[in-house]
């Protein structure tokens, strides 16, 4: 792993740094570049703005690795409140939810995570929208795909996420490329051993393209989650090759990252969904985004030092 990335992730685990970031007056503005806010009102306001710009949205209530049943329940309740609000505001046709199974109890008991995810899926259906299961580190992949398969028996539209950096993923893409299957393809965000994952960025990119081909050749609905300009161009070319019309697949990007590119794609007729995180536990998410890209960290540190 890049030394700066290691340093930022270590800072992310440091309480003093956490306090500094959480209390510095300008943090709010900087955090808001990547996180929609802490409460339901904040995220509904951001969603309205993005939808008015022609974008679709997937909303992530921040909170992961729950080993406490009450915290898992709090996450479920937050999603249920959010879905109600999206419905009431007329946003649910364009705004779905993304759920991490670890946030709803996967580490405690897979059955608990399935039951909790089922409650969110049922509420999503009632509100006229969908749910995608985020993918976490490789030790959870089999469990997450088992829960996905169970959920899809009742709600076949539940979305999966596959990570191109895992060596197994091309096979998973082929398995999940059937009719109606919604699959988000991303590079993968966790530090994984080379026994299960490609280590070199170039290998990950090649895997991404192989997986994209498998999904585009299939009969499902691929969702290409990447900010990488080269991959965005390759997907456009491959989609044409497979006779895919815009709207039979979509691009996905994170809130605050390459917003101009998001709008360019929408203006050229493509379907684009923005992944919008919110909630009180924004700190770990922010640190992961900063660690991904030194330029973001420089921007963040300049803001902290320059204006606080």
Ligand X SMILES: Cc1cc2nc3c(=O)[nH]c(=O)nc-3n(C[C@H](O)[C@H](O)[C@H](O)COP(=O)(O)OP(=O)(O)OC[C@H]3O[C@@H](n4cnc5c(N)ncnc54)[C@H](O)[C@@H]3O)c2cc1C
Is position 91 an interface residue for ligand X (rule: CB under 6 A)? no
Q: How far is the CB of 88 from ligand X (least distance, A)?
A: 25
Q: Which of 9, 17, 189, 217 binds ligand X (CB under 6 A)?
A: 189
Task: Decide: helix, strand or coil at residue 196.
Answer: coil
- The Cα 9–Cα 292 span in angstroms is 10
* Cβ atoms of 58 and 252 closer than 8 Å: yes
Residues 115-134 that bind ligand X (CB under 6 A): 134
Q: Which of 9, 71, 145, 257 binds ligand X (CB under 6 A)?
A: 257
Rounded to the nearest whole angstrom, what is the least distance from the CB of residue 132 to ligand X in the complex?
8
Residue number, 11 or 189, with CB nearest to ligand X: 189
Q: ∠208-210-215 over CA atoms, to 5°?
A: 90
Question: From CA 144, how far away is CA 150, in angstroms rounded?
Answer: 10
User: Is residue 223 a contact partner of residue 239, using CB atoms and an 8 Å limit?
Assistant: no
Stretch that binds ligand X, among 42-50, 117-125, 183-191, 233-241 (CB under 6 A): 183-191
Among 97, 114, 254, 265, binds ligand X (CB under 6 A): 254
Beta partners for 223? 184, 250
Binding residue (CB under 6 A) for ligand X from 135, 160, 177, 272: 135
Element (H, E) at 104: none
Q: Where are the alpha helices (DSSP H) in 127-197?
A: 141-154, 169-175
Q: Does 275 bind ligand X (CB under 6 A)?
A: yes
Q: Does 296 bind ligand X (CB under 6 A)?
A: yes
Evaluate whether 304 touches 26 at the Cβ level (below 8 Å): yes
Q: Residue 188 interacts with ligand X (CB under 6 A)?
A: yes
Residue 258 within binding range of ligand X, rule CB under 6 A: yes
Task: Give the nearer residue to ligand X in terms of CB position, either 15 or 260.
Answer: 260
Note whether 72 and 104 are within 8 A (CB): yes
Task: State the catalytic residues.
Answer: 134, 184
27 near ligand X, rule: CB under 6 A: no
Return d(Cα 200, Cα 140) in angstroms, integer.
22
- 135 is known to lie in a ligand binding site: yes
Residue showing tokens 């969904």: 273
Alpha carbon distance 203, 11 (integer Å): 29
**Annotated binding residue at 187?**
yes
Calpha distance 53→47 (Å, rounded):
10
Site pattern 203..242 for ligand X (x: CB under 6 A)? ----------------------xxxx--------------
Nearer to ligand X, 124 or 253 (CB): 253
Dist CA 206 CA 231 (whole Å)? 10
Pick the binder of ligand X from 30, 43, 50, 253 (CB under 6 A): 253
Q: Under the criterion CB under 6 A, does residue 289 sit at the interface with ligand X?
A: yes
Size of the site for ligand X (CB under 6 A): 23
245 marked as binding residue:
no
The interface region with ligand X, picked from 22-30, 117-125, 170-178, 180-188 by CB under 6 A, is 180-188
How far apart CA 74 and CA 62 sit, in angstroms, is 11
Phi, then psi, of 252 in degrees rounded to 5: -135, 140
Q: Positive or negative, the Cα torsion across 161, 166, 170, 174?
A: negative
Contacting residues toward ligand X, per CB under 6 A: 134-135, 161, 163, 186-190, 225-228, 252-254, 257-258, 275, 289, 292-293, 296
- Residue numbers belonging to the annotated binding site for substrate: 100, 288-289
- Residue numbers belonging to the annotated binding site for FAD: 135, 163, 187-189, 226-227
């Amino acid at each position: 792993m890049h030394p700066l990335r290691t340093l930022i992730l270590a800072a992310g685990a440091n309480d003093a740094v956490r306090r500094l970031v959480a209390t510095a007056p300008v943090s709010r503005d900087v955090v808001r570049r990547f996180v929609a806010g802490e409460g339901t009102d904040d995220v509904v306001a951001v969603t309205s703005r993005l939808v008015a710009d022609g974008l679709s949205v997937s909303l992530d209530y921040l909170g992961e690795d729950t080993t406490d049943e009450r915290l898992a329940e709090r996450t479920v309740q937050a999603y249920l409140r959010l879905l109600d609000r999206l419905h009431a505001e007329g946003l649910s046709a364009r705004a779905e939810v993304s759920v991490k199974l670890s946030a709803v109890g996967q580490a405690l008991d897979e059955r608990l995570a399935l039951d909790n995810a089922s409650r969110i899926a049922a509420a999503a259906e009632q509100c006229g929208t969908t749910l995608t299961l985020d993918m976490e580190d490789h030790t959870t992949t089999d469990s997450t795909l088992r829960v996905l398969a169970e959920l899809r028996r009742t709600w076949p539209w539940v979305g999966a996420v596959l990570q191109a950096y895992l060596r197994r993923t091309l096979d998973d893409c082929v398995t999940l490329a059937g009719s109606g299957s919604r699959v988000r393809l991303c590079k993968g965000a966790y530090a994984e051993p080379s026994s299960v994952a490609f280590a070199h960025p170039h290998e990950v990119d090649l895997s991404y393209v192989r997986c994209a081909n498998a999904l585009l050749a299939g009969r499902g609905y691929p969702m290409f989650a990447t900010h990488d300009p080269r991959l965005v161009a390759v997907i456009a070319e491959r989609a044409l090759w497979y006779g895919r019309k815009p709207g039979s697949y979509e691009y996905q990007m994170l809130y605050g990252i390459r917003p101009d590119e998001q709008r360019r794609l929408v203006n050229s007729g493509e379907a684009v969904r923005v992944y919008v995180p919110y909630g009180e536990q924004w700190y770990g998410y922010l640190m992961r985004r900063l660690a991904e890209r030194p330029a973001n960290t420089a921007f963040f540190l300049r803001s902290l030092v320059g204006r606080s």
